[in-house]
């Protein structure tokens, strides 16, 4: 599909309006953040919650603009080829897992194989911020990248963007910072975006990228990477994708009759064993696409998502454009309304995390907070060591946002994440369940892990999500009925 036309510039609020909004924000939040941080948050809020916000097509085009690598960053591009349909069963296997993990009521579109754009990213030593990459081949850049690594950690990275925006170029700074914090390298995945490629297209792409780390294709730059060196990492919706990928891999292992037998997939006529990754880390991962848990309203003032209204899933507050509403219409950008409670769409609905490696999650005082709390409870009850970090008065995925990524809390979050990734590879047995709160002053407080889960039970949270799905589906049916009546006039 061709890219949309060049987008117009996004209008930011005037300086006076930004100052007034920031001052009001400080008043409402008890002056927890300084004025600069408050202005950054309220500017993002105004751009996200503006009723005249830009269209999905424009947002997607803005996020996909190419930015040349520069400064202390190595980047080497690689494309995973399309598997041969006759000699490959990854798609069929994924669709089987989706069916087995669902309740039978979900409508799921079967995607097609497609080339997967990827990019190896690493920290480049000894160069200034604006220095361009040397004129080297992609293979030579990858070798230079590996020469600058200090550990065996290999990150499989999925960018954020609500599943409908984001790109390799846009996420490159976050990957480089993550690579520096753990001393390793990142394979960033340019998965297909919704709404034009709905669930499970992105999940298929990231699954193929994971398999390619273990079993490189002829076009890969790397050699086979031991599974004990691989960490799944993602931010926001990308964090949700990583949780979904982990659930796919866990389910494949649960299907085996013997725990010692690895599940197999076939690509281009070759049967390939699939092992579990060493761990997972995520900033603010998505867990509930119905947005039904209390923190979506309780933490509204600290975050920047639009107001919670089930009709937003039916008719999101964006102008009509070539990408949305989708043809044929559906209730959600990412999936059909009936699939909103599927465990691979909303990981809060996944009950069993047994067998997973250690998990690290960090959230701000944000609208997605309760989703993370429920996942913490589910994984902990499955005997998975989960490291939890909560950052007071900061919004969703704050370490990846302009200006906010320069905060001391962001530096601390990346350092902690990097140390976790190294521990997963070097000393996984030393990782234990723990929780910390980082106050706005930077003070670290240990949390009682029994108090981290949401005040509601897992069962109550899942009931709320199912009720949210039912409401979305009912409103969508009413909308379609109304549209058909209008079409007859």
Q: pLDDT of 135-181, one tens digit each?
A: 999 999 999 999 999 999 999 999 999 999 999 999 999 999 999 99
Task: Count CB neighbours of 304 within 10 A.
Answer: 20
Overall average pLDDT of the 44-55 stretch: 77
Spatial contact of 97 and 161, defined as CB atoms under 8 Å apart:
no
pLDDT of residue 49 exceeding 60: yes
pLDDT at 317: 62
pLDDT of residue 312 exceeding 80: no
pLDDT of residue 309 exceeding 80: no
**What does each C-alpha distance from 489 to 213, 320, 387, 482, 486 come to in angstroms?**
56, 21, 58, 11, 5
Report the run of H or E that residue 185 belongs to, with start and end.
strand 185-190
pLDDT at 208: 98
How high is the mean pLDDT of the chain? 91
pTM of the full structure: 0.94
The dihedral sign for the CA sequence 264, 105, 108, 159: negative
Reported as a pLDDT band with limits 50, 70 and 90, residue 12 is low
pLDDT of residue 52 exceeding 70: no
Interval 314-339: pLDDT, tens: 445 678 889 988 888 899 999 999 99
pLDDT at 258: 85
pLDDT of residue 5 exceeding 50: no
Overall average pLDDT of the 267-281 stretch: 97
Buried b (16+ CB within 10 A) or exposed e, 266-294: bbeeeeeebebbbbbbbbbbbbbbbbbbe
Q: What is the DSSP string of 195-264?
A: TTS-TTHHHHHHHHHHHHHHS--TT-SS----GGGEEEEEETHHHHHHHHHHHHHHHHHHT-SSTTSPPE
pLDDT of residue 51 exceeding 60: no
Tokens 């939040």 identify what position?
29
pLDDT at 136: 96
Interval 415-440: pLDDT, tens: 999 999 999 999 999 999 999 999 99
pLDDT at 147: 97
pLDDT at 319: 80
- Which residue from 1, 56, 418, 347 is spatially nearest to 199, judged by alpha carbons? 347
pLDDT of residue 456 exceeding 60: yes
Overall average pLDDT of the 195-207 stretch: 97
Tokens of 323: 């990408």
pLDDT at 6: 44
Report the phi/psi class of residue 413: left, alpha or beta, with left for phi > 0 and alpha for psi in -120 to 50: alpha
Overall average pLDDT of the 457-475 stretch: 94
């Amino acid at each position: 599909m061709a890219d949309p036309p060049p987008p117009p510039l996004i209008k930011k609020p005037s300086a006076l309006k930004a100052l007034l909004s920031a001052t009001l924000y400080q008043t409402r939040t008890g002056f927890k953040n300084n004025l600069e941080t408050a202005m950054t948050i309220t500017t993002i809020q105004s751009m996200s919650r503006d009723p005249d916000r830009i269209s999905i097509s424009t947002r997607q085009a803005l996020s996909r603009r190419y930015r040349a690598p520069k400064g202390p960053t190595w980047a080497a591009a690689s494309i995973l080829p399309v598997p041969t349909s006759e000699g490959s069963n990854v798609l069929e296997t994924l669709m089987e897992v989706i069916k087995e993990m669902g309740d039978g009521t979900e409508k799921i579109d079967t995607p097609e194989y497609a080339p997967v754009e990827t990019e190896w990213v690493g920290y480049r030593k000894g160069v200034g911020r604006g220095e361009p990459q040397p004129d080297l081949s992609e293979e030579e850049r990858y070798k230079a990248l590996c020469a600058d690594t200090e550990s065996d950690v290999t990150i499989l990275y999925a960018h954020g963007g609500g599943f409908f925006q984001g790109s390799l170029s846009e996420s490159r700074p976050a990957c480089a910072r993550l690579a520096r914090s753990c001393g390793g390298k990142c394979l960033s995945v340019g998965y297909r975006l919704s709404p034009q490629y709905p669930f499970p297209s992105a999940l298929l792409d990231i699954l193929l990228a994971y398999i390619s780390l273990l079993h490189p294709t002829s076009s890969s730059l790397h050699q086979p990477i031991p599974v004990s060196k691989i960490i799944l990492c993602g931010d926001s919706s990308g964090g949700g994708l990583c949780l979904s990928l982990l659930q796919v891999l866990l389910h494949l292992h649960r299907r085996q009759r013997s725990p010692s037998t690895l599940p197999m997939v076939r690509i281009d006529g070759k049967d390939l064993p699939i092992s579990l990754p060493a761990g997972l880390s995520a900033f603010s991962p998505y867990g509930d696409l119905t947005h039904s848990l209390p923190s979506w309203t309780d933490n509204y003032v600290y975050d920047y998502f639009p107001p919670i209204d089930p009709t937003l899933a039916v008719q999101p507050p964006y102008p009509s454009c070539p990408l949305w509403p989708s043809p044929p219409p559906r209730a959600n950008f990412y999936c059909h309304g009936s699939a909103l409670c599927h465990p691979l769409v909303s990981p809060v609905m996944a009950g069993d995390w047994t067998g997973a490696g250690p998990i690290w999650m960090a959230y701000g005082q944000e609208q997605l907070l309760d989703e993370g709390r429920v996942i913490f409870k589910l994984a902990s009850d499955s005997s998975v060591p989960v490291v939890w970090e909560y950052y007071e008065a900061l919004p969703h995925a704050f370490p990846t946002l302009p200006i906010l990524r320069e905060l001391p809390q962001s530096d601390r979050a990346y350092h902690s994440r990097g140390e976790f990734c190294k521990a997963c590879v070097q000393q996984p047995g030393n990782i234990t369940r723990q929780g910390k709160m980082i106050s706005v002053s930077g003070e670290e407080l240990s949390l009682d892990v029994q108090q981290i889960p949401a005040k509601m039970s897992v069962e109550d949270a899942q009931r709320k999500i199912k009720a949210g799905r039912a409401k979305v589906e009912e409103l969508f049916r009413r909308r379609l009925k109304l549209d058909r009546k209008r079409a007859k006039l």
